[in-house]
Amino acid sequence: MTNVYVDTAVVRIQQYLSRTPTLRGYRSGSAAIKAATAAAVVDPVVAGLAEVNPEAGEADGVVSVWFAASSPPDPAADEAMVRQVQDRLLTHLREHLPAAHLTSVHGYGENYLEAVHQQIKARRAAGEARVDLPPVFEFQAVTRCDVCHTDPAVRWHRVMGDRQRLCQDCTVRNVSLAQTRKQPTDPDPDLARTAEQELRHRLDEDRAPGAGLADPPDTFDELARLGSSGSGRNHLATVFADGNAVGAFFDALATATDPQMQSRKKKVSADLNEATQQALAQATGAVLGDRNILSVVPHVAGGDDLMVTLPAEHAWRFTLTYLSAFAEWMDVAASDLLDTVNAGRAIPLAPISASAGIVISDSSYPFTLVVDAAARMLRQAKRHTRGRTPAVQWLDITTDGHDPAHEPADLAQLRVAAPHLDRLAGVPQAHRNAVGVAHTQAGALTAHTVARRVGDHRLAIEAFLPAGANLDQPEPAGMPLPTALNLVRWWPPS
């Protein structure tokens, strides 16, 4: 039987969320997206026309619905039905997300994977998606919103004690932490948990009764102050992660004819989302330790997408733990499917993994620029290994400016370098600076000479310098000194 699948989504969700500069606005925007796209909320919106698509899994900002195609076939009737469904969904999302960029695209198939593979992806790539943009205000004399400075102000509101003029979108986001937070025990079947609520739920499950996590910070400055005294407590890291080889894997599943694989297709999307949630919980647990306050704020966590902000000193431990855990969860969930798919391929697909971009900045730095930079770092990381293995690219805006001076590093390289980076982090900053200047100005030989002057720290530095009598052997740590010195600024203390 042929079905019609309609996918309606918030486009560039990270950029939409970051149009407001505050953690409060970002958090409530994320909650608004989750609430507007929850299955229990969407069901009555499309009632009588379509149903929520159970095959689509969970991805933030995406609504997928389906209905049976006409029998006998009537393409005109089906297209008219698609239009009605889109009208309802776009109107609903626009009401709850006033400034979002929305698109809707549909396709036909016996199952969702087939529809995506054969039609939806092609229509989206060809620009055939229906687009719904927020209104453009061309009257320049209008008073702008005091928060986003983008859209016209429509009303006065109290924002954390101050009276401000807000646009329609910022009005929707003017919600306190207490209002956006739903305790895991609250009976609220109509709303799905936000990414932050889901994370707290998973972490609290592993804690003793009565030892649940305290409320997370309500501002970026408060979040930065959760760092250690040695960090300065004024820098944050935003980590943007995305799956590798996911699209190719789903394309292969869509065309597979093995009967044993048919029953597994519908479960894979759910497995992917579960891997993201489990890896997020593991990585957060790794940086929290015994602390009882949530210092990792997830903005987006669904499908294979993740974006979080946390104190800068925890960025590397979080990222490396997340990438390892995500790959491990997906290996358990899909390795047998991958083996079956690869059995008939000349060039085997790579295992599903994830790469990440890290951006470190002062907590007062405009967050919309941080989000844009994190997206650039992620693209560089994925290009570095062509999406076949996990990789990380990072940028310290305070020190490096707009662009990093180093190549991305793959996860295997970081694992080899990790114990050496632990030792390098123990070298006084003045010694690291001296060796770095020597290497930049005169090369590796002079850097070796300077390293010998720092006594007990010599081996920690020389691990990142070429070895051998003629300096013709690779660095023992598998990473050049300039890259290591850049990375170790925010390497966690061992």
What is the second-level CATH architecture of the domain 3-132?
Answer: 2-Layer Sandwich (3.30)
Q: Do domains 3-132 and 195-404 have the same CATH topology?
A: yes
CA distance 448 to 335: 45
For residue range 9-61, list pLDDT tens digits in order: 999 888 888 888 888 888 888 889 988 999 999 999 999 999 999 888 778 88
Which stretches within 46-194 are classed as H helix? 75-96, 112-115, 121-125, 168-173, 177-180
Write down the CATH number for the domain with range 195-404. 3.30.70.270
All residues at 6 or more sequence positions from 149 whose CB lies less than 8 Å from its CB, including other chains: none
First to last CA, the chain: 58
Q: 185: which residues sit within 8 A by CB, 6+ positions away? A: none
Of 391, 430, 421, nearest to 407 (Cα)?
Answer: 391
Q: ω into residue 72 within 30 of 0, thus cis?
A: yes
Residue 160 carries which DSSP code?
T
**pLDDT tens-digit series, residues 136-192:** 776 666 788 888 888 888 888 888 778 888 888 988 888 766 666 554 434 344 456
Q: Residues 291-312: what's their mean pLDDT? A: 92
Domain ranges of the chain: 3-132, 195-404, 419-490
Q: What is the pLDDT of residues 414-465, one digit of tens each?
A: 999 999 999 999 999 899 999 999 999 998 888 888 888 877 788 899 999 9
